[in-house]
Amino acid sequence: MDLKQFRYFVAIAEEEHFGRAAKRLRIVQPALSRQVKLLEEELGILLFERLPRGVVLTEAGRVFLQEIKDVDRHILRAVGLAKATAQGNYGTLRLSLIESAAWHGMIPNSLRLYRERFPEVQVSLSTMPTAMQLDFLRSQQTDAAIVYNPQNIGDLVSIELAQQHVVLAMPEDCPLIENPEISISDLANYTLIGFQRQGSPKLYDDLIAALSGVAFLPNFISEPINETEMLALVSAGAGLAFANASQQWRKPHGVVFAPVRDLDVRMSLQLVHRREHIAPTLSNFLETLHEYLGHRSKDILERDEL
């Protein structure tokens, strides 16, 4: 049995005539008759009653027709879905990201555009630390990772999406808020809330390097696990902290962000993916993201989306 025989059978059942079915299928009638005869022999039943001017289905043939039509619909759907999947129009896009990246306007905006273009693709988002993201990416558990300052990515490919300034986060009653300009030296008498180096090694090293030339020893306390915890401590009045400027839109109540005049530390937001085994859904997302970025200058990104 093969799909060709099934389609021959359906055509004869619908036309109730070998000649008309053969014409519809664009094959010669003897070949059609032979294929149906082979199908009946393989099944061990008669599917048609042969009449002088055509054929009619037997009871067994009517049951077989109904089931075959269902199979045919499933096969056509399977073929369509397989083609759509190969083109990235169907399936799943698996993205991991650092939590704070989700608040960057570029990410939700580009995903919205992607979903408008590919409504049949399911977008799966998961937040996790950078190191875990890269592990998941290498083991093909995700399609791409959106991270800050990735280090030692080796065989992976990275695309820089934006650079974001590091600013000072202060409780709203901090006297420094009155300063028209804040410099690193202004922090000498303030407690700074640090963070664990393993969470963002490059940012940690860049900040230490920026502070190494000052004439005072920075007073760091605590090492919260993530930026959310760090900003919560700032809100509670535990100290000041250096934060990603993009967190402006989700900072806790009572926290104020301000630039530090002589602190030029930036965070590089990057999308990382495998060099090989790129999912079609990811290829379409990269194209959508590239187009989205192409319509926005760096100035617009920094002003409106950070």
pLDDT digits (tens, 9 = 90+) for 260-271: 999 999 999 999
pLDDT value of residue 9: 92
Average pLDDT over residues 198-226: 79
**Domains in the chain, start-ordered, CATH in brackets?**
3-86 (1.10.10.10), 91-155+272-305 (3.40.190.10), 162-266 (3.40.190.10)
pLDDT in tens, 68-97: 888 878 888 888 999 999 999 999 999 999
What was the pLDDT predicted at 274? 96
Query: Rounded to an integer, what distance in angstroms lies between the CA atom of residue 238 and that of residue 243?
Result: 15
Residue of 236, 75, 99, 73 whose CA lies nearest to 170: 236
Q: In this model, does residue 115 exceed pLDDT 80?
A: yes
| pLDDT (average), residues 216-240 | 83
Phi-psi region of 150 (alpha: psi -120 to 50; beta: other; left: phi over 0): beta
Quote helix, strand, coil % in the chain, to nearest 5. 50, 25, 30
77 vs 136, residue with greater confidence? 136
Distance CA 204, CA 210 (A): 10
Mean pLDDT, the chain, whole residue set: 88
- Terminal CA-CA length for the chain: 62
Angle between helical axes of 3-15 and 18-25 (0-180°, round to 10): 130
Beta-bridge mates of residue 220? 192
| Amino acid 104: pLDDT | 64
Query: Could you read off the pLDDT of 164-174 as tens digits, one per residue?
Result: 899 999 999 99
Backbone angles phi, psi at 242, to 5 degrees: -95, 130
**Residue 298 — pLDDT band, cuts 50, 70, 90?**
very low
Share of the chain above pLDDT 90, in %: 59
The pLDDT, as a whole number, for residue 141 is 97
Predicted confidence band of residue 302 (pLDDT cuts 50, 70, 90): very low
Task: State the pTM of this model.
Answer: 0.73
Question: pLDDT tens digits for 13-37?
Answer: 999 999 999 999 999 999 999 999 9
